[in-house]
Structure 1
Amino acid sequence: MLRDKLKKYKIILASGSPRRQRYFKELNIDFEIRLKDVEEVYPPELKGAEITDYLAKLKAEAHIPIHNPEEIIITSDTIVWHNGKALGKPKDYDDAFAMLKSLSGNTHEVITSVCFLHQHGEHVLHETTKVTFNLLSDQEIKFYLDNYKPFDKAGAYGIQEWIGLVAIQKIEGSYNNVVGLPVDKVYQYLSTFAEITHFRN
């Protein structure tokens, strides 16, 4: 099991997202939450996964230097990519409404990057999922915003909430990625990392 493979390491999840924290608990591995304030600003020429890769690395590198050689720092970033623009967390209610209005009746991409920082270096992976929304009325959008307040979520929605039940017409790719973490890729990377470093030692 992954827990046994990682027993010599200290897993640090540098994320305040309750969804990502829940996924790590469900992976049945020991981990610690460690947060640092990072200004999430990226060069304007970046697009799509370039943005999330950059921000995930930026968050990880805020933890340099790593004082414990057994630590693995894990950071992540998610955006909604739609019409050539990145939709992160909404600034306010009106911004959230505008985001959902633009997603209504259209297909967008949810992109999540994960960065692993450890004594052997740095590794970044990402996952892209295509999501198609049904048409939403203004009343439906307002109902969702008023009752679920998704202001901490990229693209102003959480697929695991009411809007995921009524608005999602089609998903192409990983559902977990839309929630906020490509869990299968994280599991595979940590498993492979543990095996490789075991043989190094």
Structure 2
Amino acid sequence: MKQIIKYYILNIVTVITVTMFFSCNDNYKEVQKIGVSENEPIGEAENFNLKYTDSGRVTINLLSPIRLDFSNRDFPYDEFTKGITLYFYNEDNKKSTVVADYAISYSKTNIIDLQGNVVVTTHDGNVLTSDQLYFDRRKEWIFTNLPVTFKSGQDIIHGNGFDSNRNFTNAEVLEVTGIFTVEE
């Protein structure tokens, strides 16, 4: 009888010990997250001013009153809740401006999603307005599939989409309607 009780106790201790070894895992990432809410940014910046350069020349300047850093997420991003201003400088250092009420920049895809009263003013005075525009930093391309209005001189062009390089030298309004001058 004592032999059977020892056998049961030994089996129980063995099961508990094996369970403990297999239940342990590397949870360093989880420990890092302690104290950081899943819905909170890992960092905040006020009066944010970022300059992108190429060969020592500023090509893009990004300004925002508030930048929220969510780089601790599986799909990291920066959020600009109080709006954003982007200045694009061409090779001749002429400035075009993009203003939006809200923006979110995704690190993995290099896409900036501009939303709410988006206004693009080119260095030569053309103005594009839309509710949403995307800027692909890698391809240096601006685009949307939403309605846009493009004003150039006396011409007012409406469309359902827009594509352009960052210098606006290859701009195209898609599905065009509106009032515009046509040369014979």
Q: Same fold (TM over 0.5)?
A: no
If the length of structure 2 is used for normalisation, what is the TM-score? 0.31
Higher relative contact order (CA 8 A, sep 6+): 1
Greater percentage in strand = 2
Greater percentage in helix = 1
Larger radius of gyration: 2
If the length of structure 1 is used for normalisation, what is the TM-score? 0.29
